[in-house]
């Protein structure tokens, strides 16, 4: 069994953050989103992993993620020269996949369910495809499945204008080698892409064994700011354990589950968990509220924030208004020229410089 992670694309929904980096490397609880998927796949027993990358961000993904040693896996990188659809990604990965069944995972997705149980169901039933479905409020933004009263899959349509159901395809699929024949028999959609929904529909039309599993736990497609903050909230809530390695002075207070990295200094500040502070950070006269993730080498002085993600090497000084529901990119400098007692919301890309007046 192999795995194929799709980590290409341009991340337009997360701009300006993704003008200068891969969306799959944006951190959730100070760990790249992509790495959660790799860890889940390895935990399910699959260690031979191919990662689809794009020309724009592939080098960054490869340099940060490496050859797989840190995960106990072997990673092969596969270049997709243009974003021509999920089925196209499978097509160009066929030399890597060869005659192996495989799990396909979208690299900017997070799910609560354990992949091991899904893999066992797929293998035990000798299926040609196992898809995951989840009820959503906006099905026209996803691939949509129609199922009968017994849960049998009847039809799949990619991003329909008038969805026949509210069951969206989650970004995790399991396939036998039959999917390659299906992809070779479909044509690009009106969007100019080879759609994986069309390939699965080909399997259905040819009486192949296709089943659906309806996901009950959470599923997050982290392509937008609010989705990213929701993922950060859930991961901190469900997975964070207290681990304080930095220096905390006598005037500071740590409340709840908090992680603080090595060589970080906390001076006259309060940190209320769940929250995570990276390595080599400097915090002075700050309040860090719940569901905040602060990356490595961040400086915060007289800052008050909660439910926010601050990426590495950023500096926020004397912003005494509360910062909430914000995503602030790498190397951002945020300073205050004049006090204004209001809550602030930001989505700032890398290298931004903001002065509030």
**Does 215 lie in the same domain as 109?**
yes
- The pLDDT tens digits for 283-301 are 999 999 999 999 999 999 9
CA 277 to chain centre: 20
Boundary of a domain, candidates 209, 235, 261: 235
In this structure, the dihedral spanned by the alpha carbons of residues 193, 198, 202 and 208, taken in order and rounded to 10 degrees, is 120
The pTM of this model reads 0.87
**Does 247 lie in the same domain as 226?**
no
Give the pLDDT confidence score for residue 11 in this predicted structure.
47
Res. 339: pLDDT tops 90: no
The mean pLDDT value of the chain amounts to: 88
- The pLDDT tens digits for 174-217 are 999 999 999 999 998 888 889 998 999 999 999 999 998 888 77
Query: What mean pLDDT do residues 110-114 have?
Result: 79
Q: For residue 322, is it left (φ>0), alpha (ψ between -120 and 50) or beta?
A: beta
Nearest Cα residue to 260 out of 231, 291, 293: 293
Q: Which residues of 211-222 are buried (b: 16+ CB within 10 A; e: fewer)?
A: bbbebeeebbbb
**Does 123 lie in the same domain as 267?**
no
Query: Is residue 36 very low, low, confident or very high in pLDDT (cuts 50, 70, 90)?
Result: very high
**Does 192 lie in the same domain as 292?**
no
**Does 274 lie in the same domain as 202?**
no
One-letter-per-residue 3-state SS of 300-313: EECCEEECCEECCC
Boundary of a domain, candidates 185, 207, 235: 235
d(C-alpha 224, C-alpha 213), whole Å: 25
Task: Check residue 126 and report its DSSP letter.
Answer: T
Q: Please say whether the beta carbons of 324 and 309 come within 8 A.
A: no
**Does 171 lie in the same domain as 31?**
yes
Could you list the residue range(s) of the whole structural domain that residue 12 is in?
Answer: 2-235
Boundary of a domain, candidates 235, 260, 295: 235
């Amino acid at each position: 069994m192999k795995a194929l992670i799709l980590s290409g694309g341009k991340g337009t929904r997360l701009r300006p953050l993704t003008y200068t980096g891969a969306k799959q490397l944006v951190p959730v609880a100070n760990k790249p989103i992509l790495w959660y998927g790799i860890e889940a796949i390895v935990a399910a027993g699959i260690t031979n992993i191919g990662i689809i990358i794009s020309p724009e961000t592939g080098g960054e993904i490869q340099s940060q993620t490496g050859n797989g040693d840190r995960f106990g896996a072997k990673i092969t990188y596969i270049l997709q020269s243009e974003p021509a659809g999920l089925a196209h990604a499978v097509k160009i990965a066929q030399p890597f996949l060869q005659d192996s069944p495989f799990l396909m995972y979208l690299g900017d997705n997070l799910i609560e369910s354990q992949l091991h149980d899904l893999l066992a169901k797929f293998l035990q039933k000798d299926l040609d495809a196992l898809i995951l479905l989840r009820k959503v409020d906006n099905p026209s933004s996803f691939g949509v499945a129609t199922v009968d009263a017994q849960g049998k899959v009847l039809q799949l349509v990619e991003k329909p204008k008038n969805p026949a159901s509210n069951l969206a395809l989650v970004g995790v699929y399991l396939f036998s080698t039959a999917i390659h024949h299906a992809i070779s028999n479909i044509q690009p959609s009106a969007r100019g892409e080879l759609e994986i929904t069309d390939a699965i529909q080909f399997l259905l039309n040819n009486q192949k064994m296709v089943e659906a599993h309806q996901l009950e736990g959470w599923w997050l497609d982290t392509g937008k700011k609010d989705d990213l903050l929701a993922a950060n909230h859930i991961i901190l809530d469900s997975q964070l354990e207290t681990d304080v390695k930095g220096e905390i002075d006598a005037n500071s207070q740590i409340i709840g589950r908090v992680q603080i990295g090595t060589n970080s200094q906390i001076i006259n500040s309060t940190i209320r968990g769940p929250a995570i502070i990276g390595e080599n950070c400097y915090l002075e006269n700050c309040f860090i509220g719940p569901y905040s993730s602060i990356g490595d080498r961040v400086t915060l002085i007289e800052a008050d924030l909660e439910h926010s993600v601050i990426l590495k090497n950023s500096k926020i000084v004397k912003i005494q208004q509360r910062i909430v529901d914000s995503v602030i990119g790498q190397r951002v400098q945020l300073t205050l020229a004049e006090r204004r007692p209001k809550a602030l919301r930001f989505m700032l890309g890398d290298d931004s410089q903001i002065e509030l007046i």
